Copies of this chain bind each other. A is one copy, B any other.
Amino acid sequence: MMLGAAMKVTGSKPLAHIPVKGDYCIHDWDRLARFMEVPWTMPENFPIATLAASRAFYWLDDDDPALAKRFTLAAYDTYFGQGRDITDPETVAEIAEPLGIDREALLAAIQDPVIKQRLKDETTAAIDAGVFGSPFFIVDGEQFWGADRLWMIKRWLRSGGW
């Protein structure tokens, strides 16, 4: 879903734009990435509107969910791992190409009114389900917000909740 739209519901600003807290968060993300030993480069443009990548995801997901997932990981790695702006559809096509995704078909899908509407509908559905941030998980109706709650989701799934 488009996070900007979801954040409007709560009146939230992007963390990186908030005085003091933004600087702390950027430091914390870097520290977390070093701890987790995952590639991390704070993008110069952050946040961005990920319309192109999000539309590409839904286009792929209908036909091949596993491919859509691989594409998503590549898009995240390009943006957060390499710090490279992925706003431009051409960049999204470049990310998709090594996965065997046809460049022209992807660029056409990104402009397809049906796919555009799909992303809008998914965003509306997410907001209606109470999503206000990312990552956000819903497990049998139970909401979990934030990477900080992944441990809780694991325990919830194992135990059936409490």
Q: Which positions in A face B, CB cutoff 8 Å?
A: 9-13, 18-21, 23-24, 27-28, 31-32, 34-35, 130, 132-133, 143, 145-146, 148-149, 152, 155, 162
Residue among A18, A21, A145 having the largest count of chain B Cβ atoms under 10 Å? A21
Nearest B residue to A7, CB-CB: B21
Which residue in chain B gives the minimum CB-CB distance to A145?
B24
Q: What is the bound-complex CA distance between A146 and B133, given in angstroms?
A: 17
Do A18 and B11 touch (CB < 8 A)? yes
Interface contacts beyond A11-B13, A11-B19, A35-B162: sample of 5 additional A-B pairs, CB < 8 Å, sorted by A: A9-B20, A21-B132, A24-B130, A28-B145, A32-B152
Q: Which residues on the B side are within 8 Å of A19 (C-beta)?
A: 9-11
Selected contact of A162 from candidates B24, B34, B148, CB within 8 Å: B34
CA distance A139 to B31 in the complex (A): 14
Cα A10 to Cα B78 in complex, Å, equals 30
Q: How far is the CA of A20 from the CA of B78 in the complex (A)?
A: 31
**Copies of this chain per assembly:** 2
- Cβ of A133: which chain B residues have Cβ within 8 Å of it? 21
Residues of B within 8 A of A10 (CB): 18-21
List B contacts of A34 (CB < 8 A): 162
Interface centre among A13, A24, A155 (most CB of B within 10 A): A24
Q: Give the complex CA separation of A32 and B142 in angstroms.
A: 13
A12 to chain B, nearest CB (A): 7
- Interface core residue of A9, A31, A143 (most chain B CB under 10 Å): A31
CA distance A27 to B145 in the complex (A): 11
Q: How far is the CB of A53 from chain B (nearest CB, A)?
A: 25
